[in-house]
Protein backbone atom coordinates (compact mmCIF):
# COMPACT_ATOMS: atom_id res chain seq x y z
CA UNK A 1 0.00 0.00 0.00
CA UNK A 2 2.80 2.42 0.87
CA UNK A 3 4.11 2.01 -2.67
CA UNK A 4 1.50 4.49 -3.88
CA UNK A 5 1.20 6.53 -0.66
CA UNK A 6 4.83 7.58 -0.89
CA UNK A 7 4.28 9.23 -4.26
CA UNK A 8 0.91 10.79 -3.36
CA UNK A 9 2.57 12.33 -0.31
CA UNK A 10 5.52 13.58 -2.35
CA UNK A 11 3.15 15.18 -4.84
CA UNK A 12 0.99 16.97 -2.25
CA UNK A 13 3.86 18.25 -0.13
CA UNK A 14 5.03 20.16 -3.20
CA UNK A 15 1.57 21.62 -3.69
CA UNK A 16 1.47 25.42 -3.29
CA UNK A 17 -1.91 25.33 -1.58
CA UNK A 18 -0.63 23.02 1.15
CA UNK A 19 2.50 25.17 1.57
CA UNK A 20 0.31 28.25 1.90
CA UNK A 21 -1.89 26.48 4.45
CA UNK A 22 1.17 25.58 6.52
CA UNK A 23 2.44 29.16 6.40
CA UNK A 24 -0.97 30.56 7.32
CA UNK A 25 -1.24 28.26 10.33
CA UNK A 26 2.30 29.14 11.40
CA UNK A 27 1.66 32.89 11.05
CA UNK A 28 -1.58 32.69 13.04
CA UNK A 29 -0.01 30.55 15.78
CA UNK A 30 3.08 32.71 16.18
CA UNK A 31 1.11 35.95 16.27
CA UNK A 32 -1.43 34.72 18.82
CA UNK A 33 1.27 33.41 21.10
CA UNK A 34 3.54 36.43 20.84
CA UNK A 35 0.94 39.19 21.03
CA UNK A 36 -0.63 37.95 24.22
CA UNK A 37 1.56 37.61 27.32
CA UNK A 38 -0.83 34.98 28.68
CA UNK A 39 -0.26 31.82 26.62
CA UNK A 40 -3.57 30.49 27.88
CA UNK A 41 -5.41 33.24 26.04
CA UNK A 42 -3.26 32.69 22.97
CA UNK A 43 -4.17 29.04 23.04
CA UNK A 44 -7.86 29.87 23.29
CA UNK A 45 -7.77 32.28 20.34
CA UNK A 46 -5.80 29.75 18.35
CA UNK A 47 -8.35 27.06 19.18
CA UNK A 48 -11.17 29.16 17.78
CA UNK A 49 -9.31 29.71 14.52
CA UNK A 50 -8.32 26.06 14.24
CA UNK A 51 -11.87 24.85 14.76
CA UNK A 52 -13.00 26.85 11.72
CA UNK A 53 -10.01 26.69 9.39
CA UNK A 54 -8.72 23.14 9.84
CA UNK A 55 -12.00 21.36 8.99
CA UNK A 56 -12.66 23.72 6.07
CA UNK A 57 -9.24 23.36 4.47
CA UNK A 58 -9.08 19.61 5.12
CA UNK A 59 -12.43 18.84 3.57
CA UNK A 60 -12.14 21.21 0.58
CA UNK A 61 -8.57 20.35 -0.33
CA UNK A 62 -9.17 16.59 -0.04
CA UNK A 63 -12.28 16.74 -2.19
CA UNK A 64 -10.58 18.79 -4.91
CA UNK A 65 -7.57 16.51 -4.77
CA UNK A 66 -9.71 13.40 -5.15
CA UNK A 67 -11.52 14.68 -8.23
CA UNK A 68 -8.29 15.93 -9.78
CA UNK A 69 -6.71 12.53 -9.23
CA UNK A 70 -9.59 10.70 -10.89
CA UNK A 71 -7.70 9.75 -14.07
CA UNK A 72 -4.69 8.74 -12.00
CA UNK A 73 -6.91 6.56 -9.81
CA UNK A 74 -8.33 5.01 -13.00
CA UNK A 75 -4.83 4.23 -14.21
CA UNK A 76 -3.95 2.70 -10.84
CA UNK A 77 -7.06 0.55 -10.98
CA UNK A 78 -5.81 -0.89 -14.28
CA UNK A 79 -2.73 -2.14 -12.41
CA UNK A 80 -2.55 -5.33 -10.33
CA UNK A 81 -3.80 -3.55 -7.20
CA UNK A 82 -6.98 -4.02 -5.21
CA UNK A 83 -9.49 -1.20 -5.10
CA UNK A 84 -9.16 -1.06 -1.35
CA UNK A 85 -5.42 -0.53 -1.39
CA UNK A 86 -5.69 2.19 -4.07
CA UNK A 87 -8.30 4.06 -2.06
CA UNK A 88 -6.56 3.74 1.29
CA UNK A 89 -3.22 4.74 -0.26
CA UNK A 90 -4.83 7.93 -1.52
CA UNK A 91 -6.43 8.54 1.88
CA UNK A 92 -3.25 8.00 3.82
CA UNK A 93 -1.29 10.19 1.40
CA UNK A 94 -3.71 13.13 1.69
CA UNK A 95 -4.26 12.70 5.44
CA UNK A 96 -0.53 12.45 6.14
CA UNK A 97 0.34 15.56 4.15
CA UNK A 98 -2.36 17.71 5.78
CA UNK A 99 -1.38 16.37 9.21
CA UNK A 100 2.19 17.30 8.44
CA UNK A 101 1.10 20.81 7.48
CA UNK A 102 -0.80 21.08 10.77
CA UNK A 103 2.09 19.73 12.83
CA UNK A 104 4.52 22.21 11.28
CA UNK A 105 2.13 25.17 11.30
CA UNK A 106 0.51 24.72 14.71
CA UNK A 107 2.46 21.95 16.43
CA UNK A 108 5.88 23.61 16.44
CA UNK A 109 4.78 27.08 17.70
CA UNK A 110 2.50 25.50 20.31
CA UNK A 111 5.24 23.29 21.70
CA UNK A 112 7.61 26.30 21.76
CA UNK A 113 5.24 28.66 23.59
CA UNK A 114 2.93 26.34 25.49
CA UNK A 115 4.41 22.86 25.63
CA UNK A 116 2.07 21.88 28.43
CA UNK A 117 -0.69 19.34 28.66
CA UNK A 118 -3.05 22.03 27.30
CA UNK A 119 -0.88 22.67 24.27
CA UNK A 120 -0.56 18.96 23.58
CA UNK A 121 -4.34 18.49 23.82
CA UNK A 122 -4.76 21.25 21.22
CA UNK A 123 -2.31 19.53 18.87
CA UNK A 124 -3.91 16.11 19.28
CA UNK A 125 -7.46 17.35 18.79
CA UNK A 126 -6.43 19.43 15.74
CA UNK A 127 -4.73 16.40 14.26
CA UNK A 128 -7.74 14.14 14.78
CA UNK A 129 -9.96 16.87 13.38
CA UNK A 130 -7.81 16.95 10.23
CA UNK A 131 -8.03 13.17 9.84
CA UNK A 132 -11.78 13.09 10.36
CA UNK A 133 -12.54 15.84 7.84
CA UNK A 134 -10.26 14.24 5.23
CA UNK A 135 -12.24 11.09 5.91
CA UNK A 136 -15.55 12.93 5.43
CA UNK A 137 -14.17 14.47 2.21
CA UNK A 138 -13.39 11.03 0.79
CA UNK A 139 -16.92 9.94 1.62
CA UNK A 140 -18.37 12.99 -0.16
CA UNK A 141 -16.10 12.30 -3.17
CA UNK A 142 -17.21 8.72 -3.76
CA UNK A 143 -20.90 9.50 -3.39
CA UNK A 144 -21.06 11.43 -6.65
CA UNK A 145 -19.03 11.42 -9.87
CA UNK A 146 -19.77 15.10 -10.48
CA UNK A 147 -17.08 17.40 -9.13
CA UNK A 148 -19.40 20.34 -8.50
CA UNK A 149 -21.84 18.17 -6.56
CA UNK A 150 -19.01 16.62 -4.58
CA UNK A 151 -17.64 20.04 -3.66
CA UNK A 152 -21.12 21.19 -2.69
CA UNK A 153 -21.60 18.17 -0.49
CA UNK A 154 -18.22 18.75 1.17
CA UNK A 155 -19.13 22.38 1.88
CA UNK A 156 -22.51 21.39 3.29
CA UNK A 157 -20.82 18.90 5.62
CA UNK A 158 -18.41 21.59 6.85
CA UNK A 159 -21.17 24.15 7.19
CA UNK A 160 -23.26 21.71 9.17
CA UNK A 161 -20.57 20.75 11.67
CA UNK A 162 -19.00 24.20 12.00
CA UNK A 163 -22.12 26.34 12.23
CA UNK A 164 -25.53 24.70 11.87
CA UNK A 165 -25.04 21.98 14.45
CA UNK A 166 -24.33 24.39 17.32
CA UNK A 167 -27.39 26.40 16.37
CA UNK A 168 -29.53 23.27 16.52
CA UNK A 169 -28.11 22.33 19.91
CA UNK A 170 -28.79 25.84 21.23
CA UNK A 171 -32.31 25.58 19.91
CA UNK A 172 -32.83 22.32 21.78
CA UNK A 173 -31.37 23.86 24.94
CA UNK A 174 -33.76 26.80 24.80
CA UNK A 175 -36.87 24.82 23.98
CA UNK A 176 -36.27 22.28 26.72
CA UNK A 177 -34.64 24.55 29.26
CA UNK A 178 -36.98 23.25 31.99
CA UNK A 179 -35.47 19.80 31.80
CA UNK A 180 -32.07 18.61 32.98
CA UNK A 181 -30.16 18.41 29.73
CA UNK A 182 -26.59 17.94 30.89
CA UNK A 183 -26.37 14.27 29.97
CA UNK A 184 -28.13 14.90 26.68
CA UNK A 185 -25.60 17.64 25.92
CA UNK A 186 -22.79 15.23 26.60
CA UNK A 187 -24.29 12.85 24.07
CA UNK A 188 -24.97 15.56 21.49
CA UNK A 189 -21.34 16.67 21.71
CA UNK A 190 -20.24 13.23 20.61
CA UNK A 191 -22.19 13.63 17.38
CA UNK A 192 -19.98 16.47 16.16
CA UNK A 193 -16.21 16.04 15.77
CA UNK A 194 -15.63 19.82 15.97
CA UNK A 195 -17.43 20.04 19.33
CA UNK A 196 -15.52 17.04 20.63
CA UNK A 197 -12.23 18.67 19.70
CA UNK A 198 -13.30 21.96 21.29
CA UNK A 199 -14.40 20.33 24.54
CA UNK A 200 -11.22 18.29 24.80
CA UNK A 201 -9.11 21.44 24.78
CA UNK A 202 -11.43 23.62 26.86
CA UNK A 203 -11.58 21.05 29.63
CA UNK A 204 -7.83 21.22 29.98
CA UNK A 205 -8.19 24.92 30.77
CA UNK A 206 -9.72 26.43 33.86
CA UNK A 207 -12.54 28.18 32.10
CA UNK A 208 -15.28 25.59 32.34
CA UNK A 209 -16.73 27.66 35.18
CA UNK A 210 -17.86 30.07 32.49
CA UNK A 211 -20.04 27.37 31.04
CA UNK A 212 -22.38 27.06 34.05
CA UNK A 213 -23.76 23.80 35.30
CA UNK A 214 -23.29 22.05 31.95
CA UNK A 215 -19.66 23.03 32.13
CA UNK A 216 -19.43 21.43 35.55
CA UNK A 217 -20.90 18.18 34.27
CA UNK A 218 -18.51 18.29 31.32
CA UNK A 219 -15.61 19.02 33.62
CA UNK A 220 -16.56 16.05 35.79
CA UNK A 221 -16.71 13.81 32.78
CA UNK A 222 -13.89 14.97 30.55
CA UNK A 223 -11.27 15.82 33.13
CA UNK A 224 -11.14 12.21 34.30
CA UNK A 225 -8.89 9.94 32.30
CA UNK A 226 -11.88 7.76 31.62
CA UNK A 227 -13.79 10.64 30.04
CA UNK A 228 -10.78 11.71 28.02
CA UNK A 229 -10.30 8.21 26.64
CA UNK A 230 -13.98 8.06 25.69
CA UNK A 231 -13.73 11.44 23.95
CA UNK A 232 -10.58 10.39 22.11
CA UNK A 233 -12.18 7.11 21.03
CA UNK A 234 -15.31 8.84 19.79
CA UNK A 235 -13.14 11.24 17.78
CA UNK A 236 -11.30 8.22 16.38
CA UNK A 237 -14.65 6.77 15.37
CA UNK A 238 -15.21 10.02 13.44
CA UNK A 239 -11.93 9.35 11.63
CA UNK A 240 -12.66 5.72 10.84
CA UNK A 241 -16.33 5.41 9.91
CA UNK A 242 -16.51 7.86 6.97
CA UNK A 243 -13.44 6.42 5.26
CA UNK A 244 -14.54 2.84 6.00
CA UNK A 245 -17.94 3.50 4.43
CA UNK A 246 -16.27 5.32 1.53
CA UNK A 247 -13.98 2.33 0.90
CA UNK A 248 -17.00 0.04 0.70
CA UNK A 249 -18.67 2.34 -1.81
CA UNK A 250 -15.47 2.75 -3.84
CA UNK A 251 -15.01 -1.04 -3.98
CA UNK A 252 -18.23 -1.45 -5.96
CA UNK A 253 -18.08 1.81 -7.84
CA UNK A 254 -17.85 1.98 -11.63
CA UNK A 255 -14.95 4.25 -12.51
Partner 1 sequence: MQYFKNIPQALPPMIRAENINKSFGKLQVLRNVSVSLPQGRVVAVIGPNGSGKTTFIKTLLGMVVPDNGTIYVAGQSIANRHDYRGQIGYMPQIGRYPTHLKIKQLFDMMRDLRKENAPKALDEDLVVAFGLRDMFEKPLGTLSGGTKQKVSAALAFLFNPPILVLDEPTAGLDPLSSELLKEKIQREHDNGKLILITSHVMSDLDELATDVLYLQDGSVQFYSSVANLKLDTGEQKLGRAIAQIMSKTEASSKLSEAIKI
Interface residues toward partner 1, by CB under 8 A? 3-4, 6-8, 10-12, 14-15, 68-72, 74-83, 252, 254-255
> Shortest distance, CB of residue 134 to partner 1, whole angstroms?
17
Q: Which is nearer to partner 1, 8 or 142 (CB)?
A: 8
> Shortest distance, CB of residue 8 to partner 1, whole angstroms?
7
DSSP string, 189-249: HHT-HHHHHHHHHHTTTTTGGGGHHHHHHHHHHHSSHHHHHHHHHHHHHHHHHHHHHHHHH
Q: Which is nearer to partner 1, 15 or 45 (CB)?
A: 15
| 247: nearest Cα among 87, 18, 135 | 87
The burial of 64, by beta-carbon neighbours within 10 Å (0-12 exposed, 13-18 middle, 19 or more buried), is given as middle
> Shortest distance, CB of residue 73 to partner 1, whole angstroms?
10
Q: Which is nearer to partner 1, 240 or 255 (CB)?
A: 255
Q: Which is nearer to partner 1, 3 or 117 (CB)?
A: 3
> Shortest distance, CB of residue 96 to partner 1, whole angstroms?
15
| 43: nearest Cα among 203, 189, 211 | 203
Amino acid sequence: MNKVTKYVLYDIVRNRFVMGYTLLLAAVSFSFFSFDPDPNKGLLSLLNIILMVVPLVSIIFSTIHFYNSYEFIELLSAQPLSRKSIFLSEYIGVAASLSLAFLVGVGIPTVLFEGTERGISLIISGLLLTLSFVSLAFLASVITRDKAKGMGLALVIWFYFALVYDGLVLGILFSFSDYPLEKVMLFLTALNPTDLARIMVLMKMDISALMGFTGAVFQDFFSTNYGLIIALSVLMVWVVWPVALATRIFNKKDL
